[in-house]
């Protein structure tokens, strides 16, 4: 079990990585060194503990900052390739499915940014299992957001549904 003090220390360290991910110069180096792989264990855990949820949100924030790169520029395609090869989409789908609201939002934005790219969409449609797992999570997310009256956030999964149809 992670204590709040340990979670705070981990979040501070992750916040430094987020600053690096926000900077276009250091963003490339983070991806080249495959640093985001070290954040994935925080996304894999399903435990519903507040300290772990804080660390998960911060780790997702670092990944979200890394997706700020323009995927269509020369280095951006390398970043997109990294995200697709490192299986960040299934990890984000898991967060969208079982985590708290804030983690759901950040994970949804990461997946949406990836799906907005042609290669990202091709990745998601490559196998029937992958396609249906994404659609299933989106369906659950839309239903959950509707039932909990979080209508302002409904546009993100609905946009992904629309993008998948075209």
- pTM comes to 0.85
Question: Are the beta carbons of 7 and 54 closer than 8 angstroms?
Answer: yes
Structural tokens at position 115: 């799906």
Q: Are the C-beta atoms of 97 and 109 separated by less than 8 Å?
A: no
Distance CA 21, CA 32 (A): 12
Tokens 């490339």 locate to: 28
Domain 4-165: which CATH number of 1.25.10.10, 2.40.50.140, 3.20.20.70, 3.40.50.300: 1.25.10.10
If residue 60 lies in a helix (H) or strand (E), which one and from where to where? helix 50-66
Q: What is the per-residue pLDDT for 138?
A: 84
Q: What is the pLDDT of residue 151?
A: 60
Q: What is the mean pLDDT of each run of 10 residues along the chain (166 residues)?
A: 94 96 87 94 85 95 87 72 90 90 89 87 91 87 75 62 58
Alpha carbons within 13 A on the beta-carbon side of 151: 1
Contact between 51 and 4 under an 8 Å Cβ cutoff? The reply is yes
* Integer Rg of the chain from CA: 16
CB 6 within 8 A of CB 51: yes
């Amino acid at each position: 079990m992670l204590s709040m003090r340990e979670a705070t220390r981990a979040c501070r360290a992750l916040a430094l990585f987020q600053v690096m991910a926000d900077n276009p110069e250091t963003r490339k180096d983070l991806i080249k060194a495959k640093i985001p792989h070290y954040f994935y264990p925080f996304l894999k855990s399903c435990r519903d503990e507040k300290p772990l949820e804080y660390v998960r949100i911060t780790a997702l924030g670092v990944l979200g900052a890394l997706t700020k790169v323009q995927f269509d520029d020369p280095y951006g395609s390398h970043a997109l390739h990294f995200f697709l090869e490192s299986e960040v989409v299934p990890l984000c789908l898991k967060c969208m499915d079982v985590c708290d609201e804030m983690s759901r939002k950040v994970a949804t934005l990461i997946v949406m940014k990836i799906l907005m790219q042609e290669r990202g969409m091709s990745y998601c449609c490559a196998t029937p299992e992958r396609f249906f797992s994404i659609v299933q999570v989106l369906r659950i997310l839309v239903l959950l957001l509707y039932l909990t009256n979080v209508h302002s956030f409904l546009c993100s999964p609905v946009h992904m549904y629309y993008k998948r149809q075209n």
